[in-house]
Amino acid sequence: SLLEAAIITWTKQIKNVLKQDPESELKAGRHPTPDVEIEFWKNKANNLNSIFEQLQGKRIRRVLRALDQAKSTYCTTFARLCKEVFAARLEANDNMKHLHTLEDSFNKLNANDDFPRLQELFRPMLHILLLIWKNSKYYNTPARFVVLM
């Protein structure tokens, strides 16, 4: 049916956003800077927040209701995907909340070419990194943290 085709298209689009991986730059042999990491999470949070808002909309609810009434097998799969979006959205927003606190420090670091003054930036930056490590629900693993170092 046309509604099932729409669900299949939405599923593919949503899965493409979900599978975006901050480690892809490292795996490709590139060495991303911390500001690339921050930008990644900012974009992922924005994309997932947008998807989440759309999933809450009347139009999609009507489609899901119609598919449920038609006993479509796509309903359960799409409901599972919605849960994945919700979980990934929580992670992206939490990561962005914490990483955002580093933006000013990294901007100053990138803009400063006075080597002796650079050391003044490290103590507050390391303090922020420690706070992120201790308080973040998702960004407190070596795999995540390595990009910031």
Task: Indicate the range of 11-15, 88-92, 108-112 predicted with least confidence.
Answer: 108-112
Q: Give the separation between CA 115 and CA 52, rounded to whole angstroms.
A: 45
Q: Tell me, what's the pLDDT at 13? A: 96
pLDDT in tens, 8-57: 999 999 999 999 988 877 778 777 788 889 999 999 999 999 999 999 99
Residue % of the chain over a pLDDT of 70: 100
The length of the chain is 149
Going from the C-alpha of 62 to that of each of 46, 52, 83, 119, the distances in angstroms are 24, 16, 18, 58
